[in-house]
C-alpha cells in the first residue's frame, strides 16, 4: 500500500516537473463594414472569398466578421468610420470623397484606355506603390487593396441614349471628381448619390440615369427600373479595402503578414476581376429569371470618338492643370505612368 502511495506521489511530481504547455495563440478578431448586400455579386465573388483565403492562411489565427448592407457604417460615412475605428476594415467608394484622394482620381479620368477591372486594379495599386504623394492621401487609412471597375456605362430609366445629343439635359448619377466634370462636358446634369439609394431615385424619376458597372446593376437590382443600357466606356470607378492604420500597426507581425499576403497587387487584381469583370453574366441570369429584357445599344466607335473629343482627353489636361495648381507637380507624370500601365 505504501509502495502504491509513493508511486502515485512520484508520478504526480514527475507531471509537475514537466514544462508548462505554451498558451494557445489568441484569435485576432477584426470587423469589416460594407455597404453592399451579402448576396450581391461583388461580396459573393470577391469579399467573402478574400476573407476565406485570409482565414485559411491564418489557420484559425484570424477571424473577420462582416457587417453588410450599411448595418455598421453607411457607405457615405465609411472613410470617417474606418479612420475613427468604428470598424477595423471597410470597403470605401473613393468617389464619395473627391477631395480626399485627388491624385488617385487619375484612375477615374473619363475614357482612359482601361479594358478590364483586373487591369485597372493593377494600375491603381502600382500607382499607389510608386508615388509617395498618393500614399500620403490615405492618412489614417491603410489600403489593403485598391481596385477598379471595368469602364462604367450608362443606364437610363425612360430614354435610350444613342448620340451625344440624347444625353444633354439628363440628370445622371456619377461619382465626384473627374466623372462629374465629364458629365458636365457631355451636357448632362451630374449628381452624386450613394448607390444603395439609386433604385428609388430611378424608380421615382428623380434621376434619369446613372453611370454604373454591371456589378451595381446586379447588386441593387437596377435592371428593374432602368432597362435602357448604352455601352459607352465612361470611366472606371475605384475603391479601396481600407483598414484603420493604427489598428493594423497594433496587430502581431505574423497576422499583418498573412493579411498582406492576400492583399497588395495580387489582392487588388483578385478584387477587380471577381468583383466586376464577371458580373455581366450575373445580370443576364437575373433578368432572364425575372423575364426582363434590357434594351442594349453599343455606341459605335465613331460616336464614342465624338464623346471622347469633348469629355475625354481635354479633361485629362484639365485635371493635370488643376493638380499642378494645387502644388502637385508630379500630376503629369502620374497621368503618363497610368497611360503606360494601360498598355501592359
- Please report which residue ranges of the chain form alpha helices under DSSP H: 2-17, 41-42, 48-58, 78-83, 117-130, 132-136, 164-167, 178-186, 198-203, 214-219, 245-250, 253-261, 264-272, 279-289, 301-311, 313-325, 331-342
Q: Tell me the HSE value of 20 on the side-chain side, using a 13 A CA sphere.
A: 3
Transcribe 222-270 into DSSP letters.
GGGT--EEEE------EEEEEEEHHHHHHS-HHHHHHHHHTSHHHHHHH
Q: Which residues pair with 147 in a beta bridge?
A: 239
Lowest mean pLDDT among 16-20, 283-287, 306-310, 319-323: 16-20
In tens, the pLDDT along 110-123 reads: 999 999 999 999 99
CATH number 3.40.190.170 is the correct assignment for the domain at 28-149+238-277: yes
Residue pair 108/338 in contact by the 8 Å Cβ criterion: no
Q: If pLDDT is split at 50, 70 and 90, which confidence band does 19 have? A: very low
In tens, the pLDDT along 151-174 reads: 999 999 999 999 999 999 999 999
- How would you classify residue 313: left for phi > 0, otherwise alpha for psi between -120 and 50, otherwise beta? alpha
- The C-alpha cell at 82 is 474606418
In tens, the pLDDT along 194-231 reads: 999 999 999 999 999 999 999 999 999 999 999 999 99
Report the pLDDT value the prediction gives residue 98, as an integer from 0 to 100. Answer: 81
Of 47, 283, 249, nearest in space to 147 by CA: 47
Fold identical between 28-149+238-277 and 153-234+293-311?
yes
Of 211, 238, 266, nearest in space to 57 by CA: 266
Q: Where are the domains of the chain?
A: 28-149+238-277, 153-234+293-311
Pick the CATH number of 153-234+293-311 from 2.40.50.140, 3.40.630.10, 3.40.190.10, 3.40.50.880: 3.40.190.10
The pTM for the full model equals 0.88
Q: If pLDDT is split at 50, 70 and 90, which confidence band does 14 have? A: very low
Q: If pLDDT is split at 50, 70 and 90, which confidence band does 99 have? A: confident
CB contact set of 291 (below 8 Å; sequence gap of 6+): none
Amino acid at each position: 500500500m505504501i509502495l502504491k502511495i509513493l508511486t502515485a506521489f512520484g508520478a504526480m511530481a514527475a507531471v509537475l516537473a514537466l514544462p508548462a504547455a505554451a498558451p494557445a495563440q489568441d484569435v485576432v478578431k477584426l470587423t469589416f463594414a460594407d455597404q453592399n448586400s451579402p448576396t450581391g455579386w461583388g461580396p459573393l465573388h470577391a469579399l467573402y472569398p478574400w476573407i476565406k483565403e485570409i482565414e485559411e492562411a491564418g489557420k484559425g489565427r484570424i477571424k473577420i466578421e462582416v457587417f453588410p448592407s450599411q448595418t455598421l457604417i453607411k457607405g457615405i460615412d465609411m472613410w470617417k468610420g474606418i479612420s475613427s475605428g468604428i470598424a477595423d476594415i471597410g470597403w470605401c467608394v473613393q468617389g464619395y470623397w473627391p477631395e480626399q484622394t485627388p491624385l488617385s482620381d487619375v484612375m477615374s479620368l473619363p475614357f482612359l484606355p482601361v479594358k478590364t477591372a483586373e487591369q485597372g486594379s493593377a494600375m491603381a495599386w502600382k500607382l499607389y506603390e510608386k508615388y509617395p504623394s498618393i500614399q500620403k492621401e490615405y492618412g489614417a487609412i491603410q489600403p489593403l487593396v485598391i481596385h477598379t471597375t471595368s469602364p462604367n456605362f450608362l443606364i437610363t430609366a425612360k430614354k435610350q441614349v444613342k448620340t451625344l445629343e440624347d444625353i444633354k439635359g439628363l440628370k445622371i448619377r456619377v461619382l465626384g471628381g473627374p466623372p462629374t466634370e465629364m458629365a458636365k462636358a457631355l451636357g448632362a446634369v451630374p449628381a452624386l448619390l450613394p448607390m444603395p439609394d439609386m433604385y428609388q431615385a430611378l424608380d421615382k424619376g428623380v434621376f434619369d440615369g446613372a453611370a454604373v458597372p454591371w456589378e451595381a446593376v446586379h447588386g441593387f437590382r437596377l435592371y428593374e427600373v432602368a432597362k435602357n443600357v448604352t455601352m459607352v466606356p465612361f470611366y472606371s470607378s475605384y475603391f479601396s479595402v481600407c483598414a484603420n492604420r493604427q489598428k493594423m500597426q497594433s496587430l502581431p507581425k505574423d497576422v499583418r503578414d498573412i493579411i498582406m499576403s492576400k492583399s497588395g497587387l495580387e489582392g487588388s487584381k483578385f478584387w477587380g476581376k471577381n468583383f466586376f469583370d464577371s458580373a455581366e453574366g450575373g445580370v443576364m441570369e437575373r433578368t432572364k429569371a425575372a423575364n426582363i429584357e434590357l434594351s442594349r445599344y453599343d455606341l459605335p466607335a465613331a460616336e464614342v470618338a465624338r464623346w471622347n473629343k469633348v469629355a475625354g482627353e481635354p479633361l485629362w489636361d484639365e485635371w493635370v492643370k488643376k493638380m499642378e495648381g494645387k502644388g502637385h507637380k508630379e500630376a503629369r507624370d502620374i497621368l503618363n505612368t497610368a497611360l503606360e500601365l494601360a498598355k501592359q
